[in-house]
Structure 1
Amino acid sequence: MTSLGIARDAEDDPVAARQSMEAAIKSAALPGKVAVQVAVIPDGSRPGMIETLLVQSVSGSEEFRCVERFFECATAAGVLLPEGPIIAKHQVQVFLATRRKAQMMPGIAAYDGVWPFDDPLFDAVSDFLKKL
C-alpha cells in the first residue's frame, strides 16, 4: 500500500472530525512510506456532510424549488424537522423523489448523473481523490 485516503463528514464539528481522523491514523501505526490524505466534507471548515454539497449543487434548479416548498408546507403543518446540517439528508431524499426512478439513493443517483459533479463545489473532493 502506497497511499491511503480517509474522508468523513464534518457533521456538526469539522475540527472534531479532523481530530478523529488524525487519531485513527496515528493509532493505525501505518508504515512510514504510506502517503495519507484526509478530507472533511463538505469543505474542511464548515459543518455538514456530502449531502450538503449535493443540495448546494442543485439548489438553483426548478426541482429544488419544489423541495423548498415541500419543507415550507411540512413546517406549516407542524412537522418537526431536524435543525442544523442534518436537514440536508432530508432535502436530498425529497429532491430524489422528483426523479423518475423510485427509491433512488444518493450514490445510485450519482451513477445516474443526477448530481452535477462538474460544479466547482466538488473541486475539493475531486482534488482529494486525484491525490490518492
Structure 2
Amino acid sequence: MQNLPVDLGGYKLMVTEAPEMKTRVDRETGQVVPSMGYDSDEPQYVVVLFAKAREANANGRRSKGEEIKVTLPRDPGDGFEEGALVELSGATVSPYEIKDGGQITMSGLSFKARTIVPLGG
C-alpha cells in the first residue's frame, strides 16, 4: 500500500533542516542530479521535521517525538528556517523495504506532502 493519507494534526511539527533539493546519483554518469517527480518536470525537495505529540497519552506522558523526512513536489519557497513551526497539507505515508540478495536490509516509512505551510507567529 502506497501513499496512505495521514493526519499529523495532533503533532507539533518543527523544521530541523530547511528544505533542500532532493538529489540522486545518475547510474550512467555518476553525477549528482536533481530527483524529479513522476508527474512533473520540477525537482523535488526534502524537509526534515521533528514531530512531537501535542497532547499526553493515557499515562499522562507525551512521546519523545520523532524526526521525519518529508518529500515535497516542488520548492516550498522561503519561511522554513530551522526552528520554524509548520503544518503539512496533503500528507501521505508509504512503507518501504530495501532488499539485497533477497534479504531485507532496510525498512521504514516514507513521508510526502503536497505543501508545507508556516504557522503564524
Using structure 2 for the length normalisation, give the TM-score. Answer: 0.24
Decide which structure has greater helix share.
1
User: For the pair shown, which has the larger CA radius of gyration, 1 or 2?
Assistant: 1
Structure that is richer in strand per residue: 2
TM-score (norm 1): 0.23
